[in-house]
Chain A
């Protein structure tokens, strides 16, 4: 029984760490955060590190000793894989949040007195247009202009006018930015990665993309 369990664990380990990756890769992957913290953005001394890697018995994919170029490339791959997994996790969380949001907005959960006006789309109390549950699964699928919270009858007219003025100006500004959008430069990516870490930047990018795509 114990032998069978060990065999299964070996299979699972093989699935978690496919053989197309080197032992160096998995070591870097597992110690990613410690390496990042220890180096604190400084350049890696690959020559010296390769000696250490060899001493630790870490090899490339073909089982040979690690070269400088190989180590540098493997570190890049380990960082990319780490960021990819973090981003996938973040995207999953975003989807779950969006689905939870949609569930909260089911018509059955809305106040009983909510009625669409004739010729007008139904609205939530916050002014958002009620659309199909599928579309609501993505909050960003709602056009920004659809949300008109200043139409809330509880707001005094002066406050409502102020809110409309402020939010419409914000929307105009965002629309203008979206039209005059510039792709992010490599330089800016580098700056952001240095400031916030590769993982957080990638996570944020994918999260934004997931929100945009719903």
Chain B
């Protein structure tokens, strides 16, 4: 695990912001993150400033998403300011869906250095770039790196495997990303690279507005067709076998909210692994 951005042991409230061009999986990533964090004993307040996305917005999956009262960019900007002030005062973890393109957040960042302002007030800003295998995804990253002032030390480059169409070689699909100057510049600047595992039936889950736990336990909403048991099994496999590796091994723990249940699970697993070794050592001594 990288030591960059993880050098101190102080846990601070996290503000997770996902950026990237449209249809690169920002909402899917944030939706996955909040569900994973909540399922493991943590919590995050959700702010949805993506006023353009109505079909797959966070509000479709969660009833406690906060949204601005108006879609006017100036109103959204003012609303974001209020949210940031509230977060500093009350010190909680939050995630922000800003959508793609020219966002109110970008306008706010142009006016105020929000990263340093928030960091000085004890909030850790974590910026997540969602990247697919297409060249345009890198153009977005390049423009962002050169033009945006939103550049916290805690930066994650998430390679979204859900966008790899061929499904057979991630290495080839992301080869161009791997050698792109913008990508290398970001990694050289301290960004962490993580590949988001692909859920083959993601659209089956999101189109139904189900949470992943609902999907794998076979919950059916009124008027909807049930998911096939194969798809339920796919969700279960992705959720319990692939996602923990993504969140635990790829992302520094201080860049995510505290997840006590996950900590306990990991502790138990470690304990279980070391038990036979301890027993072996004792019998050798005996």
- Measured CB to CB, the residues of A under 8 A from B are 126, 128, 139-140, 144, 147, 149-150, 152, 155, 158-160, 162-163, 165-167, 169-171, 173-175, 177-178, 181-184, 188, 191-192, 195-196, 200-201, 204-205, 208, 211-212
Known contacts A170-B195, A181-B168, A208-B173; is-contact A165 B2 (Cβ 8 Å): yes
Told that A163-B184, A205-B165 touch, could you supply 13 new A-B pairs with CB distance under 8 A? A144-B175, A147-B178, A147-B179, A159-B189, A162-B4, A162-B188, A169-B193, A170-B193, A171-B171, A183-B168, A184-B168, A195-B203, A211-B172
The CA of A212 and the CA of B189, in the complex, are separated in Å by: 30
CA distance A166 to B184 in the complex (A): 10
On whether the beta carbons of B2 and A162 are closer than 8 Å, the reply is: yes
Task: Name the distance in Å between B142's Cβ and chain A's nearest Cβ.
Answer: 14
B176 and A139 within 8 A (CB): yes
Q: Measured between alpha carbons, how far is A147 from B174 in the docked complex, in Å?
A: 14
A166–B166 CA distance with the chains assembled, in angstroms: 24
Q: How large is the interface on B (under 10, 10 to 19, 20 to 34, 35 or more residues)?
A: 20 to 34
A170 lies within 8 A of B178 (CB): yes
Q: Which listed residue, B2, B169, B181, touches A208 by the CB 8 Å rule?
A: B169
**Which residue of A is nearest B173, CB measured?**
A208
A residues in contact with B195, CB < 8 Å: 170, 173
Q: What is the interface of chain A mostly: helix, strand, loop, or mixed?
A: helix
Partner of B188 from A140, A155, A183 at Cβ < 8 Å: A155
Q: What residues of chain B have their CB less than 8 Å away from a CB belonging to chain A?
A: 2-4, 159, 165-176, 178-179, 181, 184, 187-193, 195, 200-201, 203
- List 13 A-B residue pairs with CB atoms under 8 Å apart, sorted by A's residue number: A139-B175, A139-B179, A144-B171, A149-B184, A155-B188, A162-B4, A162-B188, A162-B190, A167-B187, A174-B171, A177-B170, A191-B200, A208-B173
* With contact pairs A163-B188, A166-B193, A191-B203 given, residues A174 and B166 touching in the complex (Cβ less than 8 Å): no
Most chain B Cβ neighbours within 10 Å, of A160, A173, A211: A173
A162 lies within 8 A of B184 (CB): no
Q: Is the beta-carbon distance between A126 and B190 smaller than 8 angstroms?
A: no
